[in-house]
Structure 1
């Protein structure tokens, strides 16, 4: 359930639409022979991942969601929020690990920080 102060980051829903189209396109192939039925699992898994995966941020911390599970990280564990060379947002934890935040781009970092109820320093002044 979403709270008013929670910020949700999700992948583009065009991925879900593409998965639905791929599923419908694979139906004739999968219905031709019974051993081809597992072909339907690929667009189904991609569609479920696109619908579910992402990052939720609130004042308590981050919740990273994947296809089959989720992980909660408190803000007290996060040492630094940065970007990687591909432009994805990365959280560096106090134990030295770096975790890529699903569906969060580097340009989304100010929105992500706003979920902490803290402010970013004004670097322009």
Structure 2
């Protein structure tokens, strides 16, 4: 269970529902021939990814979770939080890497920054269209 001061970003859970439906839809195919049993692994992997993948942030660190692992990044290593051309949030690190934050959109950046205890200037919090 997450702590109250931890912000969690996850993908839409409709992906998980679609993976479960795909799993049951693939059962007749997998039962037809034994060599088709690995077909069931695809929706199973998508379901685990949808349940697990995302970004967690607290005052100490940023944790990026994937299908089979996670990466912890101290806030001291993050030089900049920005958005890419597709509107996804990215973290530019002090070692030159650019890390896309799973399930975090550009409009989620103020909430991500607020968990660190820092505040944004008033003009940065407004959207460019206003």
TM-score grouping bracket, smaller chain normalisation:
over 0.9
Aligned counterparts of 1:55 and 1:20: Cα–Cα separation in 2: 23
Runs (4 or more) in structure 1 with deviation over 6 Å come to none
Q: Deviations over 1:35-80 (max 9, x none)?
A: 0000000000000000000000000010000000000000000000
Match of 1:48 in 2: 48
Residue 96 of structure 1: how far off its partner (Å) = 1.3
Match runs of 1:53-64 below 5 Å: 53-64=53-64
Partner of 2:75: 75
Q: Secondary structure at the match of 2:123?
A: coil
| Cα separation, 2, equivalents of 1:39 and 1:46 | 12
1:2 is matched with which residue?
2
Q: CA RMSD in A?
A: 1.2
* Post-superposition offset of 1:109: 0.3
Q: How many positions carry a matched residue from both structures?
A: 125
Q: CA deviation at 1:89?
A: 0.1
TM norm structure 2: 0.93
Match of 1:85 in 2: 85
Which runs of structure 2 are paired with 1:26-45 in the superposition (5 Å)?
26-45=26-45
Q: Structure 1 residue 11 and structure 2 residue 16: aligned?
A: no
**What residue in structure 1 maps to residue 108 of structure 2?**
108
Unaligned runs of 5+ in 2: none
TM-score by length of 1: 0.97
CA distance in 1, matches of 2:15, 2:111: 23
- Identify unmatched segments of 5+ residues in structure 1: none
